[in-house]
């Protein structure tokens, strides 16, 4: 019967395009491939530049800001315009000016050099002019307000005077003289230094070092400065005595006399030196490198000298840059440093200079995500509060106390916090790493805080694994993670082909592990109908190869997630494809069913986690038989699968085995049945396939928009031909999902079933006949029944989502966790009632790598036009529930990095946006959706990016973001000494008059770049800010009107009170006179 026209209005979609927008909310982790470091002493901000063009700002605890320009250009230098809310990033040929005064900083101006490469930049305090040094040795002056180059250019040949005829090399340093800002010191690569008079346009002092120049640091008195050189020496020069250095230091070598030709102990390059003055104590001299060349890890050494004391720090990684933290921004004042920040290749270290031995600060930011390579992620929303409490408590118990940190308050205090997000739903992120560890992170709102960590490798014998494992990758690398928050159950799969089931416990236990050795049996014969079962000698455990070797004896497990069941892939020692065939392709688990299923390159394995035994182990080619309950004549080439009976010790091990704890009785066996009981003896069941292939169109009634051209529906009496199956030996199971829905066409009630998707586009359904919950669940077996449903689609199956009539996601039933310390209670099963209405329906959203379809259950009819992606394939899919509209939609990630959102069930496109660049395999592999339309992925090996797609959620999250810039007053200038009062002060020159000419010479060198896309984003941001300001203004006006009304009412009450007082006084006087008469 054809559906009525009214059925088209059965699903009223409320979601619109305006409800969605793709926004990168926050980015956490350590900046990948750092290159530069900068510090603003007034705003108390730290900036880190990277080779990918990204910038990370760090302020007080909770203030992190990620800046990213769309063009990947390596940053060589960063400069803060102190207390101006601006940051300058310098690349090889591009200079960017960032505006930090807005919530999401963006590029304001860009200057691209045409023929020269930029090597060093300098911006003086409270100046509008930027000095740019180039590789050719020239120095250009840029107006920061307009980002245009002035005609005032300091050419290298004029800076070194006629006394030197050779090219001095690139510009290595530019800096104003601290006591005279009319003088500019320019240092060149080959050791030449020139003190340039800006007003007179000539060189006042010229100094020639004997060695190449690496860095320069001025003393605040403006008379001396220190240079670092490639041989590990530090030279101090006086501008009044330029013949030779005042002092030569080789901190990690020995020099007796500068004039002698004898060389000191060879040392490494001192890349940077900082000479910092302290009020009332010896100055600090800090530098990187400069150690003996034969010293190991010489690129990881940092030295602090103060007087005769010298402290050498050996870092874990190579040092990139460092900067001293101090309060005074004035160049002619004592710096008085209180900390030093050292930028490492894979981390950040900050040391307290106010305490003896310079103890380190504990970094309050999340920078340790990449301690071990992240291999998988999972993102969960609406987590229970008690689960968060337990996870935080576990993290506190496992904290190491080996390092003594400074008790001083964190030195960075910049930025302001946003609105509080205490009322937000709790979000949890779990990251799996290559070393087999799992880390739990609090990802609520914009936070990303470490909660706890535990290792999955404690139960393995690592030495035996290293000897036997032939895998190129880490054998313990986490591949898949499943967390059931209600039952506190965790399931993970490892690279060595094992699956571990964890259950949460608040007590410490010491027990023997329950281990199961399971495998998919290979086909024994292709051309005989009678196949012999393997004997016990053929399946001896000595001939079994395990890629995961377990510890022997009882294992002690700390409170938290404790291993309940380990399933290992057991393969014959002669199998040449062991490492590939044992890889877990997909995994699913239901705590309510007590069933776990996973697949590898060979086939499917179903585990009963309650009775801890293998329900079924079957090859991929034989899975088709499980979806067909008809008996079809055998053909010469047939599939087979094994069902192992645990009551028989001689049953085949490779068909699926179970190892139970000592002292426990083995559970009853389970088998394959079509409504009958399980077999009591081991048997080999042989299935053959044949018959005609059913045409593409379904024999059922058409639905709203039936298009079954690409979807083949197999009824109970149909099957797939053997030629198609046996000819495709590479077909594997790529998707598994345990659900309670309609498995057969025309079913009246939902049943527990397993949905299977293959790489060839087949969708098969297996019915699970579960015993009643309680005592019977531990005694009676789980029966596998064919459903008679087999679907065929185009492309690899990526996802199968089931929605109910209200378009809410239908999840597998769950068990509920009970605290061990509390009295136990009965198991709670969140299943469906068996008395379902006949008209109740489910919607199955079938997603392959090429298209999406929606099928109505139990009718099994396509109700929407298939949606296809042009030039891309689908890699990640989830159903998203929009809380504001009480409706679900479909969110997809494509192989090109695009994010799509479709309505359900009509598959109308609601949103599309670029998430990351095309071909980013790392981002695709670690991409994970949650049920609220948010996603996370590793944008780099050390950074994790959070993405939001629902507009209301993006706006709410934006209010949580803080601001890196705060309006502050500049510190007072240092007072001049008594003697300096009698000196003639150097008159300040008018730089606008001196540098203000913009001509053709500057335009030939560089041009101002205007990025229209960035301007549009800035305009959108400004429009958003304008809207907020408008609302704030309206609220203020309304508040003013209400205050005026209140003032008017108060004035009226005051006048009435005065009138009342006057009347009362008159009455009092009247009765007083009457009293006198009486």
SS3 447: coil
Q: Which of 97, 87, 213, 201 is nearest to 146 (CA)?
A: 97
Per DSSP, the residues of 792-830 read E-SS-EEEEEEE-TT--B-PPP------TTSPP------
Sequence-distant contacts of 338-342: CB under 8 A, at least 24 apart? 338/411, 339/411, 340/286, 340/304, 341/37, 341/39, 341/46, 342/302, 342/313, 342/315
Q: Which of 688, 881, 716 is nearest to 789 (CA)?
A: 716
Least confident of 156-165, 957-966, 1020-1029: 1020-1029
pLDDT tens-digit readout, 1028-1038: 555 566 667 66
Per DSSP, the residues of 885-926 read TTEEEEEEEETTSEEEEEETTT--EEEEEE-S-TT-HHHHHT
pLDDT tens-digit readout, 484-538: 999 999 999 999 889 999 999 999 999 888 998 888 865 433 333 333 333 333 3
The residues near 978 (Cβ < 8 Å, ≥ 6 apart) are none
Q: What is the pLDDT of residue 186?
A: 96
pLDDT tens-digit readout, 875-891: 999 999 998 888 999 99
Q: What is the pLDDT of residue 534?
A: 33
- 254-255-256 Cα angle (round to 5): 120
Q: What is the pLDDT of residue 958?
A: 85
> Taking 80 as the threshold, does the pLDDT of residue 55 lie above it?
yes
pTM comes to 0.82
| Strands of the 928-929 sheet, one edge to the other | 20-29, 943-950, 934-940, 928-929
Q: What is the pLDDT of residue 973?
A: 87
Cβ atoms < 10 Å from Cβ of 576 = 7
Report d(CA 563, CA 512) in Å as an integer: 10
Q: What is the pLDDT of residue 519?
A: 81
> Taking 90 as the threshold, does the pLDDT of residue 574 lie above it?
no
- Residue 14 tokens read as 């409320």
- Residue 126 tokens read as 């409270």
Least confident of 170-179, 966-975, 985-994: 985-994
Q: What is the pLDDT of residue 532?
A: 31
Whole-angstrom CA distances from 424 to 389, 400, 419 are: 16, 31, 11
Q: Which of 789, 790, 770 is nearest to 780 (CA)?
A: 770
Q: What is the pLDDT of residue 685?
A: 36
pLDDT tens-digit readout, 196-231: 999 999 999 999 999 999 999 999 999 999 999 999
Q: What is the pLDDT of residue 360?
A: 95
In this prediction, residue 634 has a pLDDT band, given cuts at 50, 70 and 90, of very low
pLDDT tens-digit readout, 298-357: 889 999 999 989 999 999 999 999 999 999 999 999 999 999 999 999 999 999 999 999
């Amino acid at each position: 019967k054809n559906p009525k026209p009214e059925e088209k209005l059965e699903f009223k979609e409320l979601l619109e395009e305006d409800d969605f927008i793709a926004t990168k909310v926050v980015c956490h982790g350590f900046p990948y491939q750092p290159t530069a470091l900068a510090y603003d002493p007034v705003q108390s901000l730290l900036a880190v530049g990277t080779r990918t063009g990204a910038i990370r700002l760090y302020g007080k605890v909770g203030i992190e800001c990620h800046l990213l320009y769309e063009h990947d250009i390596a940053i060589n230098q960063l400069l803060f315009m102190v207390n101006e809310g601006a940051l300058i990033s310098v690349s090889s040929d591009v200079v960017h000016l960032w505006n930090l005064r807005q919530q999401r900083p963006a590029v304001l101006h860009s200057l691209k050099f045409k023929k020269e490469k930029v090597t060093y930049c300098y911006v003086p305090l409270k100046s509008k002019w930027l000095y740019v040094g180039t590789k050719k040795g020239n120095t250009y002056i840029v107006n920061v307000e307009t980002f245009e180059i002035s005609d005032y250019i300091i050419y290298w040949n004029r800076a070194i005077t006629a006394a030197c005829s050779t090219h001095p090399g690139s510009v290595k340093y530019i800096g104003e003289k601290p006591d005279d800002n009319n003088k500019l010191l320019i240092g060149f690569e080959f050791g030449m230094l020139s003190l340039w008079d800006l007003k007179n346009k000539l060189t006042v002092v010229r100094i020639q070092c004997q060695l190449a120049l690496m860095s320069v640091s001025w003393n605040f008195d403006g008379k001396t400065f220190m240079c670092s050189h490639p041989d590990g020496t530090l030279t101090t020069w006086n501008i009044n005595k330029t013949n030779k250095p005042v002092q030569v230091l080789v901190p990690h070598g020995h020099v007796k006399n500068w004039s002698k030709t004898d060389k000191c102990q060879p040392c490494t390059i001192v890349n940077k030196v900082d000479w910092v003055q302290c009020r009332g104590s010896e100055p600090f001299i800090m530098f990187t490198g400069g150690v003996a060349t034969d010293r190991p890890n010489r690129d990881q050494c940092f030295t602090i000298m103060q007087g005769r004391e010298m402290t050498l720090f050996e870092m874990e990684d190579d040092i990139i840059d460092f900067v001293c933290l101090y309060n005074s921004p004035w160049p002619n004042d004592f710096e008085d440093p209180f900390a030093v920040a050292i930028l490492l290749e894979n981390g950040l270290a900050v040391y307290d200079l106010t305490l003896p031995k310079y103890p380190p600060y504990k970094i309050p930011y999340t920078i340790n995500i990449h301690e071990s390579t992240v291999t998988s992620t999972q993102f969960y929303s609406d987590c229970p509060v008690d689960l968060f409490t337990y996870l935080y408590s576990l993290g506190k118990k496992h904290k190491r106390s080996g390092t003594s940190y400074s008790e001083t308050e964190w030195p960075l205090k910049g930025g302001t916090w946003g609105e509080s997000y205490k009322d937000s739903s709790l979000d949890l992120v779990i990251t799996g790493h290559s070393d087999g560890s799992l880390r739990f992170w609090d990802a609520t709102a914009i936070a990303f805080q470490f909660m706890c960590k535990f290792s999955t490798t404690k139960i393995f014998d690592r030495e035996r694994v290293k000897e036997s494992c032939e895998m190129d990758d880490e054998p313990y690398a986490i591949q898949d993670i499943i967390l059931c928050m209600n039952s506190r159950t965790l399931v993970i799969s490892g690279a060595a082909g094992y699956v571990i089931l964890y259950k949460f416990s608040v007590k410490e236990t010491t027990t023997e592990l329950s281990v199961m050795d399971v495998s998919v049996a290979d086909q024994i014969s292709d051309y005989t109908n009678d196949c012999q079962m393997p004997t016990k000698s053929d399946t001896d455990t000595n001939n079994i190869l395990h890629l995961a070797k377990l510890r022997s004896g009882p294992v002690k497990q700390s409170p938290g997630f404790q291993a309940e069941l380990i399933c290992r892939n057991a393969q014959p020692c002669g199998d040449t494809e062991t490492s590939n065939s044992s890889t877990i392709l997909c995994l699913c688990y239901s705590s309510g069913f007590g069933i776990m299923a996973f697949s590898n390159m060979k086939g499917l394995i179903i585990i009963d986690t309650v009775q801890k035994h293998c329900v079924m182990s079957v090859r991929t080619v034989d899975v088709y038989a499980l979806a067909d309950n008809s008996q079809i004549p055998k053909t010469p080439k047939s599939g087979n699968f094994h069902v192992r009976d645990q009551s028989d010790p001689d049953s085949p091990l490779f068909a699926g085995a179970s190892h139970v704890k000592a002292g426990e009785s083995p559970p009853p066996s389970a088998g394959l049945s079509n409504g009958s009981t399980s077999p009591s003896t081991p048997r080999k069941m042989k299935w053959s396939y044949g018959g005609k292939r059913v045409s593409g169109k379904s024999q059922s009634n058409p639905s709203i928009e039936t298009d079954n051209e690409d979807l083949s529906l197999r009824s109970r009496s149909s099957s797939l031909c053997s030629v198609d199956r046996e000819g495709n030996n590479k077909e594997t199971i790529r998707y598994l999902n345990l659900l309670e829905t309609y498995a057969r066409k025309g079913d009246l009630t939902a049943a527990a079933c397993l949905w299977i998707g293959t790489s060839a586009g087949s969708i098969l359904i297996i019915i699970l006949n579960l015993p009643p919950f309680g005592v019977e669940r531990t005694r009676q077996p789980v029966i596998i029944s064919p459903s008679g449903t087999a679907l065929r689609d185009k492309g690899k199956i990526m996802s199968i989502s089931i929605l109910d009539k209200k378009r809410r996601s239908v999840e597998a039933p769950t068990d509920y966790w009970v605290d061990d310390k509390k009295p136990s209670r009965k198991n709670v099963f969140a299943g469906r009632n068996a008395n379902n209405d006949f008209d109740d329906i489910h919607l199955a959203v079938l997603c392959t790598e090429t298209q999406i379809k929606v099928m109505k259950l139990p009718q099994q009819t396509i109700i929407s036009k298939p949606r296809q992606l042009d030039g891309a394939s689908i890699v990640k899919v989830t159903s998203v529930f929009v809380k504001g509209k009480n409706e679900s939609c479909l969110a997809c990630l494509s192989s090109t990095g695009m994010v799509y959102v479709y309505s359900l069930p009509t598959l109308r496109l609601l949103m599309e946006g670029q998430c990351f660049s095309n071909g980013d395999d790392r981002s695709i592999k670690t991409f994970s959706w949650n049920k609220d339309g948010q996603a996370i992925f590793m944008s780099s090996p050390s950074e994790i990016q959070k993405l939001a797609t629902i507009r209301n959620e993006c706006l709410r999250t934006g209010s949580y973001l803080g601001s890196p810039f705060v309006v502050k007053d500049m510190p007072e200038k240092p007072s001049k000494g008594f003697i300096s009062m009698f000196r003639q002060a150097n008159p300040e020159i008018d730089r606008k008059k001196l540098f203000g000419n913009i001509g053709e010479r500057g335009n030939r060198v560089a041009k101002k770049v205007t990025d229209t896309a960035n301007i549009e984003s800035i305009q959108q941001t400004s429009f958003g800010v304008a809207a907020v300001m408008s609302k704030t203004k309206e609220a203020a006006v309304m508040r003013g009107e209400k205050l005026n009304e209140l003032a008017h009412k108060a004035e009226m009450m005051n006048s009435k009170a005065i009138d009342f007082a006057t009347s009362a006084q008159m009455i009092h006087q009247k009765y007083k006179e009457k009293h006198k008469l009486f």
